[in-house]
Amino acid sequence: MKPIQKLRGEHCLNLYISHELKSRLNEIAKRYDRTTSDLVRAILKIGIPVMEGISQAEEIMMKDYIQLFRRMRQIRRIKE
């Protein structure tokens, strides 16, 4: 007897989303005559670089904030 082979590979991703989000995705897919899978793939391709940019901006802001906080603390120590 042959062992059971998985139909899905390492590249497969299962997501649990709200009913509202799924219905919204289905509506958009229907409006633009695309499959929901194609729509989700496109959103991920577009969204990943955007999310990376947002994350990098947050990192820079946090580093700058920490540096500013340290400078302010040093100034307070000097004044005292």
Tens digits of pLDDT across the chain (80 residues) = 677 666 666 777 888 999 999 999 999 999 999 999 999 999 999 999 999 999 999 999 999 999 999 999 988 888 87
- Residue 63 token pair: 């580093």
Whether residue 25 contacts residue 40, with contact meaning beta carbons closer than 8 Å, is answered with: yes
Q: Which pLDDT score, from 0 to 100, does residue 4 have?
A: 67
Give the whole-angstrom CA distance, residue 27 versus residue 33: 10
